[in-house]
Structure 1
Amino acid sequence: MSRMPDTEAFLRELLIRTAEAHGGYERDVLGGVYDEAWPRWYAAFMARTLAAEGYAIERPG
């Protein structure tokens, strides 16, 4: 598992990338319709992106 550098900056960049990707999804897939389920879409996109980059979120314990 990779160690995250500056966590706040890392998450900010990931959110920006996710928002940009979601904008394309709303435009291209949903035909410009507001996505009521955007939190689910964001979570899935972010989880896939983190996994692809070698990160894992683990519960302490």
Structure 2
Amino acid sequence: RKNAQVGDEITTIGGICGRIIAVKDETDSIIIETGSDRARLRIKRWAIGSVDTIHEEDA
């Protein structure tokens, strides 16, 4: 959760899948885009269930 960054694909603990488009450190929240209409949602960082993007430093 702490290492999630813009561009990462995530799944929330509620099952919503999306891509991070902004990180708001001052409010500890992130904005994700989801769905074919690119709906934007603001969620708290603690609501990230998993980061589905694999980074080279993780491999």
| Larger Rg belongs to | 1
Between Structure 1 and Structure 2, the one with more strand by share is 2
The TM-score, its normalising length taken from structure 1, stands at 0.20
Q: Which structure has the higher relative contact order (CA within 8 Å, separation 6+)?
A: 1
Between Structure 1 and Structure 2, the one with more helix by share is 1
